[in-house]
Structure 1
Amino acid sequence: MNDLRSWRVPLPQTAVKCAATVVLAALAVLSTGDPQLVFLAGIAALGAGALALRDLLAPVRLTADAEGLTVVSGYAGKRRVPWPDVTAVRVDERQRLLMRTRLLEIETRDDLHLLSTFDLGEDVRDVEAELLRLSARD
């Protein structure tokens, strides 16, 4: 049995980031009379563009099968981790003020990978359950 599961950034989310990049870049170009607005809109366009580019270069953030998982590492690299090197898979849930955040934590012997619903396109609790099933942990 060689189940292969993968989780990726939802396409509509990538499209919104691309559209935001275009709008912010246009705002910077059209605001030549206001240097502060050009600067702020330009920086925002670069940030949104960097996020959109990462989604385009590495849309699949996590892949798992019976032998291990492959997780995005760095900006757009990939790292293969066999199950014996995975020390913990858990969901970290925090509430601050009115915001609740949930992150999937994949802890390996030498690293910690944090993934959100925005990275995976699914609720992190469902991904955690699937990873635990694939790793054959009790």
Structure 2
Amino acid sequence: MKKIIYLIGSLMMLVSLLVACGTNESTKNDSSIKEKKQTSVAEGIRFTISQPKKEKKQELGKEKILYTFQVKGENVSSNSKGLGSIDFVLETTDRKEVDIDPTMATFGDELKPTKSLSGPVTFSLNKTEKPKKLIYKLGDKKTAEWDVKE
């Protein structure tokens, strides 16, 4: 079963270069990002996530707010894992899920056991929207989430 999941995940990575493959294990972390960085484990990956940096951006004459998290993932399992910016969504206070801003820098690759990968995860919100949770999501499955404090 794990070989099939790995094969499907590998094919998805070839198509998008940023899609992560998953396993049947699931860990939900309701950790707050209160400190400068927060560490937790989900799906065999140890995540270290920074507080978001907040910047203004002009987009088509409208002012947007960019929230950029620095994410580091270390594979703590015995199987290769995929990790990328595309695996994250930002939930707002009105429960809307926002995908990453495709115009900003992203990262993604396969993680061999004991290897790590890091990079930015950036979301663009309207001035009236407020971030609530950063969510690590594989397909439709929320595998980890962290409360965001501005």
TM-score normalised over the length of structure 1: 0.27
Write 1 or 2 for the structure with the bigger share of strand: 2
Whichever of the two has the greater Rg, that structure is 1
TM-score normalised over the length of structure 2: 0.26
